[in-house]
Amino acid sequence: MTPSRKRSTENPAHDALARAGRALRLVLLIALAALFLIPFYLLLRNGLAAESDITAADWTFFPRELHWSNVRELFDDPDVPMAHALLNSTLIAVATTAGTLVLASLAGYGLARIPYRHANAVFYAILGTLMVPAAVTFVPSFVLVSSLGWVSTLRGLIVPTLFSAFACFVFRQYFLGFPRELEDAAQVDGLGYWRTYWRVVVPNSLPVFAAVGTIVFIGAWNAFLWPLVIGQDRDAWTVQVALSAFSTAQTVNLHELFVAAAVSIVPLLVVFLFLQRYIVAGVERSGIDD
């Protein structure tokens, strides 16, 4: 990928060895990639099979006949409102992502760039919450949210999750490394913190926003415990809750379970493949990793 990596050597035997090494590495990578794809394959195989194909004594690599009707059956199932759950999950994930990005980036910028005597104390107070597992404060959180009357509302599902210490931390680290010259120029133009932030800092930081946004979006889409307890009303079910409704029913219907699982990851895979470029670029520039 860089010229330096293609160091040539004069020794042909060494050259052959290197080539063999490369080939071996490639074979290993392909094998690993195949392993990583197995679960996706199983989701498709089981999701599009008839129940008897899944439980058959002999393994079939793919169902003899693809049962696309399983998808229709899923959306027609009166017991599990899959379409509505997809809508809920989308609303929640979008709102959570937007809200988190705004709140956490502002806080991260303030912590990184605005001098304040107790800034470090505030930062450590925020960072410290990373160490408190959500499940630990689970019952008091539930009581708090329910005393606000937010049970079974989208508000209850969204607002308490907006304050991500992780996102704030990433933004702070990133803004610490943001080139000061750009902001200085803006300040010379007479822009205050607020306008400097929105006009100069944000537009030059989009990859980081994309990276953090994707991570938050994935987390919001995949959240399980909180939606399970807060989303009491069927109208407030998310995809994950609907999925667990399938798997904990007294009668397990394997093909429907798998087709539901497959449907639940499709939106995310689309977002993901589309945004991957930005995530990688964002991670590279954000310093999430240092």
Partner 1 sequence: MPPAALRPLTSNTTRRQRNRTLWFWVFVGPFAVGLALFTYVPLGWSVFLSFFDAHNTVTPTDFTGFGNYRRILSDPEFRSSLTTFAVFTAIIVPATFALSLALALAVNRLRWAQAFFRSVFFLPTACSYVVAALVWKMSIFNGVRFGLANTVLGWFGAEPVAWLATTQPPWYWLVIGTVRLWLQTGFYMILFLAGLQRIPVRLYEAAALDGARPGWQTFRHITFPALRATSVAVALLLVINAFQAFDEFFNLLSDARGYPPYARPPLVYLYYTALGQGQDLGLGSAGAVVLALVIAVVTVVQARWSGLGRKEE
Partner 2 sequence: MPITRRRLLTAGGGLALAGATAAACGSNTGRGGGGSGGSLSHWYHQYGEPGTEQAVRRYAAAYKKTRISVQWRPGGNFDQQTAAALLSGSGPDVFEVNGPTLDQILGGQVVDLTDLLKDVKDDFQQAVLAPKTHDGRIWGIPQTVDTQLLYYRKSLLDKAGVRPPRTLDELVDAARRLTDRRTKGLFLGNDGGAGVLGATPLHAAGLSPVTADGKVGFDDPAAARTLAKIRKLYEDKALLLGAPADWSDPSAFVQGLTAMQWSGLWALPQITKALGDDVGVLPFPADGPAGKPAVPVGAYAAAVSARSDRKAEAKAYVRWLWVEQTGYQEDFALSYGLHLPARTSLARKADRLRQGPAAEASRFAAEHGHADPLLWTVASKVAYQDALSRIIKDGADPEGQLKAVVRTTEAELARVRKRS
Binding of partner 1 by 39 (CB under 8 A): yes
Counting beta carbons within 10 angstroms of the beta carbon of residue 242, is it exposed (0 to 12), middle (13 to 18) or buried (19 or more)? Answer: buried
Binding of partner 1 by 179 (CB under 8 A): no
Instruction: Return d(Cα 163, Cα 123) in angstroms, integer.
Output: 14
Binding of partner 2 by 239 (CB under 8 A): no
User: CA 260 from chain center: how many Å?
Assistant: 19
Binding of partner 1 by 240 (CB under 8 A): yes
Nearer to partner 1, 135 or 182 (CB): 135
Binding site partner of 188, from partner 1, partner 2, none, Cβ cut-off 5-8 A by kind: none
Binding of partner 2 by 245 (CB under 8 A): yes
Binding of partner 1 by 150 (CB under 8 A): no
Nearer to partner 1, 3 or 203 (CB): 3
CA quadruple 57, 63, 67, 70: dihedral sign: positive
* Closest to 104 measured CA to CA, from 79, 129, 83: 129
Binding site partner of 158, from partner 2, partner 1, none, Cβ cut-off 5-8 A by kind: partner 2
Binding of partner 1 by 54 (CB under 8 A): yes
Instruction: Please select the residue that binds partner 1; options are 48, 85, 86, 279, rule is CB under 8 A.
Output: 279
Q: Which residues lie below 8 Å from residue 191, measured CB to CB, with a gap of 6+?
A: 199, 200
State the maximum Cα–Cα separation within the chain, in Å, rounded to a whole number. Answer: 76
- Grouping H, G, I as helix, E, B as strand and the rest as coil, residue 163 is coil
**Inter-CA distances, 154 with 77, 101, 158, 226, 240, Å:** 23, 18, 6, 12, 15
Instruction: Please select the residue that binds partner 2; options are 237, 256, 263, 264, rule is CB under 8 A.
Output: 237
* Closest to 96 measured CA to CA, from 208, 200, 179, 215: 215
* Closest to 111 measured CA to CA, from 184, 168, 36: 168
Binding of partner 1 by 283 (CB under 8 A): yes
Binding of partner 2 by 50 (CB under 8 A): no
User: By rule CB under 8 A, what string of x and - marks binding of each residue 180-219 to partner 1?
Assistant: ------------xxx--x--------------------x-
**Window 249 to 278, contacts with partner 2 (CB under 8 A):** 249-252, 254
**Inter-CA distances, 247 with 56, 61, 80, 206, 266, Å:** 20, 24, 12, 40, 19
User: CA 128 from chain center: how many Å?
Assistant: 22
Binding of partner 1 by 244 (CB under 8 A): yes
Helices (H), 148-250: 154-158, 165-176, 180-188, 193-196, 206-222, 225-230, 239-248
Binding of partner 2 by 4 (CB under 8 A): no
> What token pair was written down for 130?
């990373």
Instruction: Please select the residue that binds partner 2; options are 71, 202, 268, 288, rule is CB under 8 A.
Output: 202
**Window 56 to 85, contacts with partner 1 (CB under 8 A):** 56-57, 59
Stretch that binds partner 2, among 17-25, 26-34, 234-242, 278-286 (CB under 8 A): 234-242
**Binding stretches for partner 2 (CB under 8 A):** 55, 57, 78-79, 91, 94-95, 98-99, 101-102, 139, 142-143, 146-147, 149-155, 158, 198-200, 202-203, 228-229, 232-237, 241-242, 244-245, 248-252, 254
